[in-house]
Structure 1
Amino acid sequence: MTRAGGDTTGAPRWGGTALLRPGVLALTGSIGTTDVHAHHAVQILTATTPLTVRDGHGIGHRGTKVVVPADAPHRIEVGAQEGTVVFLEPESLPGRSAHLRAVHSGWTVAPVLTSTRRRTLAAVVDELVEHLAPVLTGDGATPRHPAVDDALRLLPSLVAAGPVSGTDLAAQVGLSVSRLTHLFTDQVGIPLRRYVLWSRLRLAVMRVQAGDDLTGAAHGAGFADSAHLTRTTREMFGLAPSVLSRHVSWDLEAGL
């Protein structure tokens, strides 16, 4: 998966397996090079050999663990034949935690992200999220409000049907929209509107994997057209959905 022509002869190329759930996109396999770009998701990279990520100021960040903050221009100058990349929603608790660590402590002072060898990608992601936002996963986590559980059950069919109205969803679960959005962010760890967007991306990838072209997948997931879907994936991850679909086998978890 190269970003706008980042292919270099002899260099590792993007490929492997991926996991997608609301707030998290994770890939394990080979990590390719990219051109300069920026994306909204926080990016955590780890590899068995040192990576080099050059930021928008020309400073190289080299190590086996690198964190790229949200919206930071960068390019992967040296990739790796074996590694893991995790993109986190920056408005989520783990994403915000990783972003602040990179901003305040440097890109190579990375959160714990262990190898996927002999472990599933889902287990690695779960460990990372627990490390970054233990309140979401620890024994002391507050039980979800029944209305939040109801909203989570309703959202897949609502997303598939078209635009999702927070006001309508709140009415269906018996809360005011302000109360629902507050509870949802607090107890799910990601704002409702961002959860809906990640759910649309997941649905689009599911449809591509089922055989739809990008236009059909985009319309089926509630995007205006394939250009809208492509813009969204580039803005969030620096990647095009067509490249992801071609070179990656997907594990499409519902997640939360």
Structure 2
Amino acid sequence: MAQQNRLYVWDDRFLYLTGGIVSGLTQRHTLTLLVSLGDQGFELGDAQGQRQRFTAALVGNQTPRSLDAGLEPLLSLNFDPQSYEYHCLAAMLGRRPVRSVILMPDRVDHEAVRAAGEGRLEPAGLFRLTTALPRALSDYRPIRMPMDMRVSHIAQKIKKELPLTSTLEQLGAEVGLSAHRLWHLFSDKLGISIKSYTLWARMRRAVELIAQGVPLSMVAHDVGFSDAAHLTRTLKQFFGLTPSFLARGMEVRML
């Protein structure tokens, strides 16, 4: 597989393929499926410095973890709370912050994985890969998940109207709810608070703009940060990557 770092970003998920990565503690608001594409696997560390080696693992949202894949190629598939896969994988994970998982080899399209890593898989194939990989897990089970359209509307509004200027009261009024009721309904349906979801949306938008070559000071202003330094610190906390690496060290495709 080519060693170019590649990041594919959709509205409710992103796929990161790298020839090897070492990062300090990060804490994402996605649920992450990590898969080693080499022979040695990768190590995850927790906030107390305890480390464990995996070949594939689920990492829960808002779980602080360091990552050391060395020079081994790695696939990182991250699902936003708006995605169906997020909730199926969360059910598998239960209350555990991290779980070792097994990918059934006969259910994985290895050629599609190679093509994605080499940047030659078309958008439809890329999306199919993101839906197929969770189903290749040995314990994966589809779930029934009732969705509330009011929550979906607010989640989309947060993503599309950054920096968000509406108050919680104004957001609630837009869908006929009190601020208190919206706060609890949002967390109940998506498994993440509005505050955390908004921060995650800002990070996604920042990655998109940085990849387009927008100056960092302008990106910070666009997504509602006080300055570029604050944005840089937050990006490193979420992704373990600096803005300069996002701009020059990887290929980013918004899909």
TM-score, length basis structure 1: 0.69
Distance 1:208 1:55, change over 3 A: closer
Question: Contact 1:13–1:33 at 8 Å: present in 2 too?
Answer: no
CA contact (8 A) 1:44 1:85 kept: yes
Partners of 1:175 and 1:183 lie apart in 2 by 10
Q: Which residue of structure 2 aligns with residue 148 of structure 1? A: 151
Q: Is the 8 A contact 1:200 1:221 kept in 2?
A: yes
| Contact persistence 1:20–1:202 (CA under 8 A) | no
What amino acid maps onto 1:141 in structure 2? M
* Number of corresponding residues: 229
What amino acid sits opposite 2:37 in the alignment?
Answer: T
- How far off its partner does 1:169 sit? 1.0
Residue 197 of structure 2 corresponds to 195
Q: Does residue 222 of the first structure (1) align with residue 224 of the second (2)?
A: yes
Establish whether residue 182 from structure 1 lines up as the match of residue 170 from structure 2: no
Structure-2 change in CA distance of 1:75 and 1:187 (3 Å): closer
Instruction: Note the C-alpha offset of 1:49.
Output: 1.6
2:6 is aligned, of 2, 7, 16, to 16
What is the percentage of aligned positions where both structures have the same residue? Answer: 22
Q: Which deviations, in whole Å up to 9, do the C-alpha atoms of 1:54-109 show, x marking residues without a partner?
A: 5365645143x24456544534153424x41124569x746755665765xx7543
TM-fit CA distance, 1:215: 1.4
Gaps of 5+ in 1: 1-11
**Is contact 2:213-2:247 (8 Å) kept?**
no
The aligned counterpart of 1:241 is: 243
Could you say if the C-alpha distance between residues 59 and 151 of structure 1 is closer, same or farther in structure 2, counting changes exceeding 3 Å? closer
1:86 aligns with 2:91: no
Matches of 2:127 and 2:57, distance apart in 1 = 20
For structure 2, the 5+ residue unaligned runs are: 113-120
1:20 deviates by 4.8
Q: 1:165 to 1:217 in 2, by over 3 A?
A: same
Give the CA RMSD over aligned residues.
3.7
Match of 2:115 in 1: none
Quote the Cα distance in structure 2 between the aligned partners of 1:98 and 1:236: 23
**Any conservation in 2 of the 1:102–1:108 contact (CA below 8 Å)?**
no
The answer on whether the counterparts of 2:21 and 2:70 sit within 8 Å (CA) in structure 1 is yes
